[in-house]
Structure 1
Amino acid sequence: MDAVRLRRLNRWQAEELREDLADLYVESSAVDSGEEFHGRQEFLHRLAHDVQQPGFDMLVAEAKALTGCAYGLPVARDGSWWQGFDGPLPQNLEQLTASGHVFAITETLVHPHEHARGLARRLQERLLADHQASLGVTLADQADHPALAAFEAWGWQEIGQIHRQPPAPTTLRVLVLRLGARTTEHPDGLAHNARTQRPE
C-alpha cells in the first residue's frame, strides 16, 4: 500500500472537498443498491451542519487519492450534548465533560480497499490526541450492525442509549473510547486528569 499521510482540514477546505468526501462515504458504506443517492445526500446534509459547529475539526488520510477521514467537535462543557441520554449519566462522564476533555467523533470513513481497522483507529486516535481528549464519544444507529461491529473492533465500548429529536425521533447507541490510563482506582480509564485541565 502507498504511504498514507494524514492532513488536517479547516471548515472551508472540508466544504471544498465535500463531493470527494461524499464519494468516499458511498464507497465505504454498506448501503443497499439503489440507496446510494439518498445516503449520499444525507451525508452531505450532516456534513454541512457539522462544519458550522464550534470547534469542528477534520483529518483526512491520503495516499494517491482520498482514503479516509474522521471529523467531529468538542463536547460543550455545559453537558447539553448528553441531553436525551437514557438514564443517569455516569458521574465521571459529567466531570470529564465539564472539564472540556470529551470530543465527539461524528463521522469515520475509510475506503474499503485500505487497511480499514488500522487506518480508522489511527485517524480517530490522532484527532482525539490533538484535542487532548480523555474520552472520545460517538453515536451509532441501533440497526447499523456493521458500524457497531467496526467500532467495537477499534476499541469503542457501548455505554447506553441516547434519544435525539431532529430531524426525526431516533434512538442511538452511545459508544465511548477511553484514553486515560487504567488504574486500580479507575479501571475504566476515566479518571479526571487535572494535569490536562484546559485553561478557562
Structure 2
Amino acid sequence: MVARVDEQLVGFAYGFALAADTKRWSRLSAPVAPEVVEEWPGRTFLLFDFAVHDSLRGRGVGRALHDRLLGSRAEERATLMVQPVAGDTKAIYEHWGWRKIGQTEGGPTAAAPVFDVYLRDQLGDLVPS
C-alpha cells in the first residue's frame, strides 16, 4: 500500500500472512497464553514495514495507510514489532487498537537487538477507504 501526494511517494505499508507453522512466536522473552501464539492458515497478518514522510505525520496519512491495508486483509488479526525506544510510535499503535504482548530478540541482522511485539486482535473494525 502506498500514499502519494501529487505523484510524490509520501508513505507505504506492507506485510504478509504468517504461515501456520511460523516460528514467529518462539523467541518471545516471556511466555504468553497458548491461544495467543497458536496459528492456522489465515489467522495472522504481519505488518512488516510502515512509514510516512516526516512532513506529513500527524495529518492522517499513516492512519489511512494502516486502515486501508489492514482493512483489506482476510486475516482475523495482525502483529508487528517496534523498537522499545520508539515511544511516540508505540503510543500511536496503542491508540489504533494494538496491544503489547511481549518482547523478542531481533537477531543478528536486525535493526535492534530487542523489539516490542504488538498484536491487534481483530481487523474487522477497519474499513478500507
TM-score, length basis structure 2: 0.78
2:25 is matched with: 82
Number of residues of Structure 1 aligned to a counterpart in Structure 2: 123
Q: CA deviation at 1:114?
A: 2.6
Q: CA deviation at 1:70?
A: 0.5
Query: Which letter does structure 2 place at the counterpart of 1:123?
Result: L
User: Counterparts of 1:75 and 1:117 in 2: how far apart (Å)?
Assistant: 31
Answer yes or no: is the 8 Å Cα contact 2:13–2:66 preserved in 1: yes
Unaligned runs of 5+ in 2: none
User: Counterparts of 2:105 and 2:81 in 1: how far apart (Å)?
Assistant: 10
Poorly superposed stretches of 4+, deviation over 4 Å = none
Structure with a larger share of its residues in strand: 2
Larger Rg: 1
Q: Which has the higher contact order (CA 8 A, sep 6+)?
A: 2
Q: Identity over the aligned pairs, expressed in percent?
A: 27
Query: Which letter does structure 2 place at the counterpart of 1:136?
Result: A
1:66 is matched with: 9
TM-score, length basis structure 1: 0.53
User: Counterparts of 2:89 and 2:123 in 1: how far apart (Å)?
Assistant: 24
2:121 is matched with: 178
User: Counterparts of 2:21 and 2:32 in 1: how far apart (Å)?
Assistant: 13
Unaligned runs of 5+ in 1: 1-58, 183-200
Structure with a larger share of its residues in helix: 1
User: Which residues of 2 match residues 106-121 of structure 1 at below 5 A?
Assistant: 106-114=48-56, 116=58, 118-121=60-63
Give the RMSD, CA atoms, in angstroms: 2.4
User: Which residues of 2 match residues 31-180 of structure 1 at below 5 A?
Assistant: 59-64=1-6, 65-95=8-38, 97-114=39-56, 116=58, 118-167=60-109, 170-179=113-122
